[in-house]
Structure 1
Amino acid sequence: MVRYPNSHQPKVLILYASYGEGHLQAAKAIRDALEEQGNDRTVMVDLMAESHPWLNEMTRRVYLKSYTHIPYLYGWVYDVTRPMKHNSLFGGFLHSFGRDKIRKLLQKEQPDAVIHTFPFFALPSLHHRKLKKNMNIPTYTVITDFDLHRRWVHPGIGRYFVATDDLKQELGSLGIHPGRVSVSGIPLGRGFRGTLSPTFELYEKYGLRADQPVILMMPGAQGVMPDSGELCSHLLEQLPNTQIALVCGRNNVLKSSMESQMGHDKRLHVFGFVNEVHELMALSTCLVSKPGGVTLAEAIYAGLPLFLYRPVPGQEKKNALYLQSKGAASIAYDPEELAAAITGLVTNPEQLQRSQMAVQRLQTKEAAADNIAHHILQEYDWNTKFGQRYS
């Protein structure tokens, strides 16, 4: 990779949102990749938290509650707004959030490029309306799901980074020129930028046995996937020669509950938030999870067949259906169905191999974060294309 001297470093503004963990993780991964390629002038901003703190907190709580209280309402809203155009009445309303904050950020930070890992389009909208005033800062969108909601799409976006060829084709059907879309994959943390082999030391670190398949269960960073206790109980009962690594994330209540209820079973290993989740994935045979885009991308990178439990209507169900259509994932809606599907995988070497190959077909050749950072640093001639500034 090219390393840029300080005198040629662009200043990059990354906008993300704290709805779930994925958008933030993607933003951090791009920041780290830029830094590794010699650029240390990156500014990260949680746009909604900065511009509308009260509204941000309220909508974050509603978003998290949607998994257990109002999933079908959330899914209905997602589906109704999915074909929404940027210049529709409601689209214009959504794109207005954060516009004043972005204007102030541009004046303060004077960035040379802006990256979105969440569909905020206050900047492209502002950019699009004021081209005559030379407000021409390159804007990049990093789509962090396997489904395309039209809120990601705006004529002011210079380049899109997407997870799959199918997303690139879908953007093309909406009039986005193929040259403006790069199939990069979804950006992941540093641990997912190389091959990690299972070693005795890794098994020992996590208290796992090397002679039994490991079912990795990740209910999400907030531990919101339902029925975790019942799922573990069924799996341990149906698969006596299998062990489970349950990652509870930041849900300390779930962690304490699982330890008190099932801590006597030595085949169940309960963890809180795990920073080096790539290590656990390297030891695992498959992953049981909610279908958040970044978690799915991590599993794909690690080559893990996926079991997606009761996906919430909206982008996560769309993610699940897409991966199922590719043979990389199975969807289950009750513990018995899930246990039967996993039993069929871990006890049938041919089925396991077919699933692994389906996952591998979704892998990209390069680590997404490195690819995105390299694209941004190479795509522009900083001396001739960034002379104009916002004022």
Structure 2
Amino acid sequence: MNKRRKIFILYARFGEGHWQAASALRHSFERVGGADTVLIDLLAEAHPFLNGVSRFVYAKSYNVMPHLYGWVYETTKGMNADSPFANWLHSFGSVALRKLIERESPDAIVHTFPMLVLPSVSRKIGLSIPMFNVITDFDLHRRWVHPAVDKYYVATDDISRQLRSLGVRPERIAATGIPIRPTFRPDGARTGVAAKYGLDERRPIVMVMAPPNVPSAETAKLCLLLRDRCGAQVAVVCGRDKALRDSLAAGLAPRTGVAVLGFVERIDELMAVSRCLVTKPGGLTLSEAIAARLPLLLYRPVPGQELGNAKYLSGKGAAVICRDPHDVMHAARRLLEDASEPLAMRGALEALRKPDSSDRIALDIARQLHIMEEASSKAASFPRTTLLPTSR
């Protein structure tokens, strides 16, 4: 009987996306990939104080200094893996990762966040561990790129081409899409879903993922414009942000046609009955909307990877970038009143769909590890050649 492999999945809690991708992969590895997984927030494990400060600064960057964050992102976007800044970035967590490797002996390490400390750790301990990068945005930053990466799993064919232009061999890239939960099934039965959230299935529904970078009063105004000017019902999802939910509920909950929701486990059901989605352009939410073929209105993307995601999807015709509540209202009205516009956007979304992304990544990594193990076994068993002295 073959021993089950152990795989480390490294993520970070800067937003929910990296963790959600890691969780989706854990589900797939344990279900179809023949591996047990350990999810590790490496920065939190290695530098808890720095992690807390970094998360605080990241959260505040939405409101206080978005252009500074965007400037840093764009300035470092083209950095080389051997640059001093890249080496500094990839040095955090080396002691913690080394201890984890020596204690648990993983068969591979998968990144859903680019803390690429493994190559330096491998050199120090003299142990080669396969390394896989799952890029969780539609915009490529060179922080993800390193010569020690065995294979990249990317959102689109365009990122695949970008990596090839950087010298990465085609067999080391797979355009699988960003991993979303294998249980995400937006094509299921829709009967009764609207009523489950206090809405009327006979009237159009617009789904709003309440942006964390937007004051609750502005989000409330946006919801009322959608209801009053577009004739839509609004399902506004606040996730795990209880303070935001309470603030919106205080002003919106008594109003008919607006449902204020917290964390929604079956977000696929809600997407299935919605006509469009208003959201910030995070990679995981965008991937779920693409899977659901749900037209996207991307609200006030902040400079950095979110703006890169927004520009990419807008350029493909799969999304509209909106800067204020009235932009959203006008874009939603077009989608609700003009049948040709949502049809075109759904066609663009369909062209971007990569079904079963999480399972495909887990299965491919399992196959890659099997190939590596076979090659290593053959190399170890290959007979040494003894040179015999020649007769004079």
TM-score by length of 1: 0.92
Secondary structure of 1:380 counterpart = helix
SS at match of 2:278: strand
- Compute the displacement of 1:251 (Å): 1.9
Letter in 1 for 2:362: A
Which residue of the partner structure matches residue 378 of structure 1?
367
* 3-state SS, counterpart of residue 50 of structure 2: helix
AA at the equivalent of 2:179: P
Asked if 1:64 corresponds to 2:59, the answer is yes
Given residue 365 of structure 2, which amino acid in structure 1 is its aligned partner? I
The corresponding residue for 1:100 is 95
Letter in 1 for 2:209: M
**Superposed displacement of residue 350, structure 1:** 1.2
Measured after TM superposition, the shift of residue 200 of structure 1 is: 2.1
Q: Which moved more, 1:378-387 or 1:102-111?
A: 378-387
Deviation at 1:198, TM superposition (A): 4.5
Q: Tell me if the contact between 1:217 and 1:244 (Cα under 8 Å) persists in the aligned partners.
A: yes
Aligned residues: 375
Counting only pairs closer than 5 Å after superposition, residues 44-193 of structure 1 correspond to structure 2 as 44-127=39-122, 129=123, 135-192=127-184
Q: 1:230 aligns with which of 221, 225, 228?
A: 221
- Rate the CA distance shift 1:119–1:38 in 2: closer, same or farther, 3 A: closer
Once the 2 structures are TM-superposed, how far is the Cα of residue 237 of structure 1 from its aligned partner? Answer: 2.0
Q: Output the amino acid matched with 2:199.
A: L
Alignment correspondent of 2:338: 348
TM-superposed deviation, 1:134: 5.3
Q: Is the 8 A contact 1:198 1:283 kept in 2?
A: no
> What is residue 333 of structure 1 aligned with on the other side?
323
Which residues of structure 2 form unaligned runs of 5+?
A: 380-392
1:36 matched residue in structure 2? 31
* Separation in 2, partners of 1:385, 1:60: 42
SS for the counterpart of 1:14 is strand
The runs of 5 or more residues in structure 1 that have no matched partner are none
Decide which structure has the larger Cα Rg and report it. Answer: 2
TM superposition shift of 1:136: 1.7
* Deviation of the 1:11 alpha carbon: 1.1
Q: Deviations over 1:101-147 (max 9, x none)?
A: 111111111011110000011103434x46xx752211000000000
Matched AA of 1:199: R
Q: Using the TM superposition, give the Cα deviation of residue 383 of structure 1 relative to its aligned residue in structure 2, in angstroms.
A: 5.0
8 Å CA contact 2:33, 2:366 repeated in 1: no
What per-residue deviation string (whole Å, max 9, x for no partner) do you get for residues 202-254 of structure 1?
A: 2221222111111010025xx444421121122122112x1000001122222
C-alpha distance in structure 2 between counterparts of 1:339 and 1:81, whole Å: 36
Describe the SS at the equivalent of 1:330. strand
Amino acid at match of 1:310: R
- State which drifts further: 54-63 or 261-270: 261-270
Residue number among 191, 196, 207 corresponding to 1:205 in the alignment: 196
Give the TM-score, by structure 2 length. Answer: 0.92
Quote the offset at 1:312 in angstroms: 0.4
Q: Which amino acid aligns with 1:94?
A: L
Match of 2:356 in 1: 367
Alignment check: 8 A CA contact 1:225 1:290 kept: no
Q: More displaced, 57-66 or 252-261?
A: 252-261
Identity %, equivalent residues: 45
- Does the Cα contact within 8 Å between 1:112 and 1:386 map onto a contact in 2? no
Q: Equivalents in 1 of 2:93, 2:323: separation in Å?
A: 38
Question: Is the contact between residue 107 and residue 129 of structure 2 (CA under 8 Å) also seen in structure 1?
Answer: yes
* 1:368 aligned partner, one-letter code: S
Cα displacement (A) at 1:376: 1.1
3-state SS, counterpart of residue 353 of structure 2: coil
SS in 2 for 1:145: coil
Q: Look up the match of 2:389.
A: none
